[in-house]
Amino acid sequence: MSAHEAPGAEPGSDSSAGALAASAIALLIARGLTAGTAESLTGGLVAGALTTVAGSSAAFRGGIVAYAADLKESQLGVPAALLKKVGTVHRDVALAMAAGVRRRLDVAVGVATTGVAGPDPADGQPVGTVHIAVDAGARSAHRRLRLTGDRGQIRSETVRQVLALLVTVLAEDRD
């Protein structure tokens, strides 16, 4: 269904969104960390996946759906000059969204999604171009995805991929 430049979960592990969300919440709780989401193309689906996990309120504080460029700027602190220069579908925008939600929601870990789910290209980017990011303060990570499928499939795969990236960052971020 999808082609991407980002590795998924470990081979042999359950890489469904539900299992990844449960793993992320467990890792956050075990480390005493909180997380928040900044979502564009996923429109709250990442927050939804995280909050389906029992006990998630111990680690998940909330999310900001910033679908419009001006909200990415005003609510998440993405620089206007950056948005004007590269548009909303870009590596630096995803990283700025993740850092911005960390600050705005006062959380340890920010998770961000931005991209083009379709049906039409946006900001000069083809359908299926997605950028995901996780900002954990001293460590940040980004992946560019090139996904295929319909709008729903692209959004679902983006959720799965960003949760996998979150788990990877949390698993690597050992004290």
pLDDT, block means (10 residues), the chain with 175 residues = 40 75 98 98 98 98 97 98 97 98 98 97 95 96 98 98 98 72
Side chain identity at 113, as an amino acid letter? Answer: T
What is the pLDDT at residue 15? 79
What is the pLDDT at residue 164? 98
Task: State both tokens at 26.
Answer: 């467990």
Determine how β-strand 35-39 pairs with β-strand 109-115.
parallel
Alpha-helical runs (H) found in the chain: 17-31, 45-51, 69-76, 80-86, 91-105, 151-172
Structural domains present in the chain: 14-172 (3.90.950.20)
Q: What angle do CA 66, 72, 77 make, to 5 degrees?
A: 135
